[in-house]
Structure 1
Amino acid sequence: MKTPIEDDQLPRRSVLCVDVKSFFASVEAVRRRLHPLHAYIIVIANRERSGSVVLAASPRVKKEFGIKTGSRNFEIPKDPRLMIVEPSMSLYLQVNGMIMAIFRRFVADEDLHIYSIDEAFLDVTASHRLFGDKCTIAQKIQRAIWQELRLVVTIGIGDNPLLAKLALDNEGKDAPDGIACWTYDDVPTKVWNIHPITDMWGISGGYARSLSNIGIESVRDLAHADKWKLKKKFGILGMQMYYHAWGIDYSVLSEKVGVREKTYSKGQILLRDYYHEHEIIIVIKEMTEDVASRLRRHGVAASGIALGISYTRDIEDRGFHHQVLLPRSTNSTAELSAHFVRLFRKHWMEQPVRQIHVVCSKLQPAGHEQIDLFTPPELDERRHIIDETIDEIRDRFGKDAIFRAYSLMKGGTYLQRAGHVGGHKGNSF
């Protein structure tokens, strides 16, 4: 196979893409001492509403009843075998933390990338001497998660993150042992045979139609197309699709973040896709409040911010990350929130959001902030008093002792993160 890149220049790593089968439903099965693959469990947002969305369904439910994530309550048949439960979000986050702890036995933090609450990438290249080859490490991780948490995971193994992800989605999830390994040598027989083309990473229905209009119907066609014509039509994404069709991906997990200055940040993987601006803004404000409180606790103010937004895995656009310098340094919750919201509104393309990351940087000691000619001094003082009062109440009585009213609205996650998850009690595993 003649590749666009010389063979000895192809990036070769040992990357695992690990997915927990039907995560929410599996956790609920384990709580009830049931095998996740044998249980008939459906996790639904609200059992009382006929149009409520199914958040997860056990593999057996998917296979025998056709009920899957996104189905509606009214579509669920009346069958005595089916157990319909509402989500226990704090429990799912707790279990996710346990899974991450197992991953960290095998890789350093910089070699771990959390893709979603039920999926992660691990670069085990530096772990071979301690734990064996990539297949052996995959088996050890799979076994550890089963023995300790009774959860079933499937794993894709690849020479890079792309091949690991394609191996997982197109073979590993249905493999008898739940593990599939794809290398560059497998590209002609496996990657080029992915069908339909929308099953290829990064190719949505819209792109598939555009590719079809220029005679590209398959991944094999894409790999043998004129890459310069693809670039002319689709821009940099055209080149990316071309190289992906050859299984080429230069991503290195440990390089996803550069040299860091001192910052205060918070990241959150949302438990569902957020489609509406007002819901996303609520979460951004809640996260900003948390970071602002830490700034005040450490006696610093920020003069730079960065906002990272990751979209749902099902679309080709990954999201965005933008940073700006502020007119003046601040640790005011209201002021920082306004800047983050403005940054979000400027760059959001109305795509469904799954992860949010807020960062405050360019730190300096608090108390040296510039006077803002456009902000009345009395407003600054009022904001300062409100922030200090809220901080003091939470320090004394707990984070859920006082909260903003918007955290009670649909989309809010503050109470969930404080131990009360959307009205559900936090449960232990």
Structure 2
Amino acid sequence: MNAFFASVEQQSNPALSGKPVAVIGAAKRTIITTCSYEARAFGVKTGMNSWEARKKCPQLIFVVGNNRKYSYTSKQIIAIMREYTPLVEVFSIDEAFLDVTGSLSLFGSAEKIAHLIKQQIRERFGLTCSVGIAPNKLLAKLASDMQKPDGLTIIEPERVAQVMERLPIQALCGIGAKMQQHLAKFGIKTCGELGRFPVETLRKHFGVTGERLHFMGLGVDDSPVVPEDEAEEVKSVGHSTTLDRDITERSEILLQLLQLSEMVGRRARKYQVTGRTVTLTVRYADFTTFSKQQSRGDYTNNSEEIYRAAVKILDTLDLTQPVRLLGVKITNLRHHTEQLPLFTEERKKALVASAMDDVNNKFGDFAVTFGSLVGKEKGAKVISPAWRPEGVRNVDAD
């Protein structure tokens, strides 16, 4: 999808149509989540501070993001894709891979399927997307980034070597700034150079990743498109929140941890998952980020127990700066059919949690909650790259 969050805002509010728009995570936050193409024309970029963006574009309009709106739209778009193939792998809230090999006899060609999907999305939502068609996921992702907005790029098998020869390595999904720096030490700047570089040397310095880098340079990728119902079981259930403002008071941090623990516990209970290890993530005002974990003696999805474990971890930390982001996660998971605990006290906790979940499912998040959270500000919600339209990774983050 092209400038997805900003485009959805422009479509839902005609007054924003054709104007430079920047979506931010919360009214008191200054980092831009995404921006419209009208804003990008002035040099405004994702991750930019609002004051810097305003300097580049004085008429820039800031809109606080509405994640429910984006996730709803994404689910409808994914449903459109599934009309053409059941092999749809959701990569993020605004991107997906489709394997249309088995659909060609029905619709004619991959290019025709792409045009039909683009047309349906435009007619139904007024949104544009860019499509890449290629022999594999690596190249399809690359092609989808080549023409924006509203593009359609095809990389035929016979053109792969030509396309890769002078392509900068950072254009490939999976090669970030650090890897780019490491490869530059070997004089590797293009995919052609990466594909020709001795694979033994890459393997020696990067381990198994070195061999994968070699094949990436050649445009080779044998990873299949994996639909949701065939994906591996999740290995963690977590949630993080970018706070509306940087905080230092322990009481405020504890309130946020309680809220996060309830969100994690509720999702874990819904999908019948328990975890033995709790992880606390902290990001300072200067974006320094670190995590610390602690394992329990037993498995749990009880919000209060997750919270207490997070607080224990917090008590071991010496926070030296104001806190910008907090995250709570359970790992070392066990997937099982839900059954009531054997002991009376544990059974009471499970029944109370189940009753709260039932009420919140019917009347909305935090309709019933811990007394200390009543009337308190909730942190800004940022959609995780691990977001999925269904299952345990589907977070209603607003």
TM more than 0.5: yes
2:212 pairs, out of 235, 240, 264, with: 240
2:10 is aligned with 1:21: no
Q: Is the 8 A contact 2:34 2:45 kept in 1?
A: yes
Spell out the pairing of 1:61-140 with structure 2 (5 A cutoff). 61-63=39-41, 65-75=42-52, 76-77=54-55, 81-108=59-86, 111-140=87-116
2:153 is aligned with 1:172: no
Q: Is the 8 A contact 1:266 1:359 kept in 2?
A: no
CA distance in 1, matches of 2:192, 2:257: 42
1:388-409 deviations in whole A, cap 9, x for unaligned? Answer: 5524643675443123567955
1:148 paired residue number: 124
Residues 127 and 30 of structure 1, relative CA distance in 2, 3 Å threshold: same
1:54 paired residue number: 32
Residues 420 and 62 of structure 1, relative CA distance in 2, 3 Å threshold: closer
2:336 is aligned with 1:363: yes
1:237-289 deviations in whole A, cap 9, x for unaligned? Answer: 1111110111110111137875889x9997989999xxxxx999878734532
CA distance in 1, matches of 2:193, 2:380: 42
1:181 paired residue number: 154
How far off its partner does 1:77 sit?
3.7
Q: Is the 8 A contact 2:22 2:36 kept in 1?
A: yes
Q: Give me the CA root mean square deviation.
A: 4.5
Q: Is the 8 A contact 1:117 1:269 kept in 2?
A: no
CA distance in 2, matches of 1:129, 1:266: 40
Mean alpha-carbon deviation: is it higher for 68-77 or for 141-150?
68-77
1:10-51 deviations in whole A, cap 9, x for unaligned? Answer: xxxxxxxxxx11111111111233796x4322223345x5x7
How far off its partner does 1:304 sit?
7.1
1:149-191 deviations in whole A, cap 9, x for unaligned? Answer: 100111111101001011112x2326xx610011332222212
Task: Determine helix, strand or coil for the equivalent of 1:105.
Answer: coil
1:200 pairs, out of 147, 163, 172, with: 172
How far off its partner does 1:331 sit?
5.6
TM-score (norm 2): 0.71
Structure 1's unaligned 5+ residue stretches are 1-19, 273-277, 296-300, 308-323, 343-351, 372-376, 422-429
CA distance in 2, matches of 1:360, 1:341: 20
CA distance in 1, matches of 2:58, 2:300: 58
1:314 paired residue number: none
Residues 99 and 282 of structure 1, relative CA distance in 2, 3 Å threshold: farther
2:4 is aligned with 1:31: no
Which amino acid is 1:387 matched to?
A
1:313-365 deviations in whole A, cap 9, x for unaligned? Answer: xxxxxxxxxxx9x96666644457789999xxxxxxxxx999x9989654256
Residues 138 and 359 of structure 1, relative CA distance in 2, 3 Å threshold: farther
CA distance in 1, matches of 2:148, 2:310: 38
Mean alpha-carbon deviation: is it higher for 70-79 or for 23-32?
70-79
Which amino acid is 1:42 matched to?
A
Residues 336 and 53 of structure 1, relative CA distance in 2, 3 Å threshold: closer
CA distance in 1, matches of 2:115, 2:311: 44
TM-score (norm 1): 0.66
Residues 208 and 341 of structure 1, relative CA distance in 2, 3 Å threshold: farther
Residues 239 and 105 of structure 1, relative CA distance in 2, 3 Å threshold: same
Q: Is the 8 A contact 2:341 2:347 kept in 1?
A: no
1:69-113 deviations in whole A, cap 9, x for unaligned? Answer: 1122112148675433222222112211221121121121xx111
Q: Is the 8 A contact 1:40 1:60 kept in 2?
A: yes
Q: Is the 8 A contact 1:266 1:287 kept in 2?
A: no
Mean alpha-carbon deviation: is it higher for 263-272 or for 216-225?
263-272
Mean alpha-carbon deviation: is it higher for 160-169 or for 111-120?
111-120
Spell out the pairing of 1:290-305 with structure 2 (5 A cutoff). 290-294=266-270
Q: Is the 8 A contact 2:275 2:334 kept in 1?
A: yes
Which amino acid is 1:146 matched to?
R
Percent of paired sites with the same residue: 26
Structure 2's unaligned 5+ residue stretches are 244-252, 279-294, 313-324, 384-393
**Number of residue equivalences:** 348
